[in-house]
A = this chain, B = another copy of it.
Amino acid sequence: MSIQLGREVDFPNLDRQSAVPLYYQIQQHILQQIRSGQFKPGKTLPSEEVISERLGVSRMTARQALKSLCNLGVAYSQRGKGTFVSGIKLEKNVRQVQSFSEEMEARGARPHSKLVSFDVVPAGEEAAEALHLAPEEKLIRLRRVRVADSVPMGVESTCLPLQLCPDLHEKFDPRTSLYRALSEVYGIHITQADEVIEAGLASSEEARLLRIRKGSPVFLFTRTSYVESGRPVEHVKSTFRGDRYKITNRLGQLSKVNSPGGGKWTQG
């Protein structure tokens, strides 16, 4: 699928008939070389000009490929110098919006859930505010114990506006992935979430469900999830074991993605 030009860099054979965009073919090819270690951290990637000439694409297309690598975090650009491979590992467990099922599968564990309760309740103050509803509106509340490889990891209480998915009881098996059901049955795709994490101690009920001692350290999560339009669709409160569950974050600086490159004029 690729030809060797020179000693160090090889360029893909582009498929111009394919529906896959050219810049994406280029991005994937470079990405593969970085993953396989052919491009070492700190190494200069081919410049926009070079990619443009060798592959017979316009400079803007070459640029788009390199820029997407920068957005991924595997490369970075410096005006006047070039684009370089970053030493940061790509494959690390970075937390994103994902269900417990997705998260555990990504970590290589088999997830499942034990149903605690599945009922309809009035929203109450906190959930009403988070979901932009009146406190009298009704919610579907789903309480589950989350299990990974037979180890109970946490207790989770999920609230959804009843109006959003009135027949959820019939169409969803509570032992499976709620996100999958929301996506497939209702076309609701959760793309963002705000989350507050607190450190606490297990109550006696939590201790019983999670098979730990009362007073053990736990994480308390409060999460509100949104679809792309920013409409909140889910309010979750959960308690996870501190002894079996760790949080892994990658922190970046948001500003970089959205501000111009290099200039000295930048406003703060």
Contact = CB atoms under 8 A, between A and B. Distances in A.
Interface string A51-84: 0000000001000000010011100100000001
Given A97-B251, A196-B248, A256 B191 contact: yes
A220 to B, nearest CB: 9
A17 interface: no
B251 A96 contact: yes
Nearest to A28: B267
Contacts of A260: 20-21, 24
Contacts of A257: 68, 71-72, 257
A236 to B, nearest CB: 12
A250 interface: yes
Nearest to A84: B229
Interface residues of A, number: 62
B196 A253 contact: no
B250 A194 contact: yes
Nearest to A72: B258
Interface stretch (A2-10, A87-95, A134-142, A161-169): A87-95
Given A199-B199, A257-B71, A226 B87 contact: yes
A18 to B, nearest CB: 8
9 contacts: A41-B231, A76-B229, A84-B229, A88-B192, A96-B254, A97-B251, A193-B250, A198-B247, A201-B217
Interface of A: 19-21, 24, 27, 41-42, 60, 68, 71-73, 76, 84-88, 92, 94-97, 191-201, 215, 217-219, 226, 228-232, 242, 245-254, 256-260, 263, 265
